[in-house]
Amino acid sequence: VQLQASGGGLVQAGGSLRLSCAASGRANSDYIMGWFRQAPGKEREFVASIRRAGERIDYAESVKGRFTISRDNANNTVYLQMNSLKPEDTAVYLCASGRYYSRVSGAYDYWGQGTLVTVSS
């Protein structure tokens, strides 16, 4: 499975971005999909995850109410809509896929290369 994340960029605080993660090599619907982020000098942290048919969604407390994860299995793509962005959201955002629903990065088998999100104050 190959994952390609895109959609990052520079945005002012309060703005919005939509990240996409396109999967190839295997049907997207076979996997749990997740978004993680890693800021400079910090550990990778869980952002959001979604089960195969979208029947269960989980968010980190820091993004709940501002971010929305969704998936389009027909197009093997998962999205992260990010609203009301804050400077502390600045990080490289990585998409991942795995077989087990988890907030732990080690539970995911495949990772994309990441896309940089920078939020200016």
pLDDT value at residue 30? 74
pLDDT value at residue 24? 86
Q: Give CA separation, 84 vs 11, 42, 78, 88, 103, in Å.
A: 10, 22, 20, 11, 23
Q: Token pair of 118, please? A: 């920078």
pLDDT value at residue 105? 92
d(CA 35, CA 49): 6
Q: What is the mean pLDDT of residues 84-98?
A: 97
Q: Which residue has the tokens 């993004």?
A: 63
Helix (H, G, I), strand (E, B) or coil at 84: coil
pLDDT value at residue 27? 62
pLDDT value at residue 34? 95
pLDDT value at residue 100? 86
pLDDT value at residue 53? 84
- What value, to the nearest 5°, has the Cα angle with vertex 27 and ends 46 and 8? 40
Q: Give CA separation, 77 vs 12, 15, 39, 41, 81, in Å.
A: 26, 23, 24, 29, 13
Sign of CA dihedral 106, 34, 47, 40: positive
pLDDT in tens, 21-78: 999 887 656 789 999 999 999 999 999 999 988 889 999 999 999 999 999 988 999 9
pLDDT value at residue 28? 59
d(CA 114, CA 121): 22
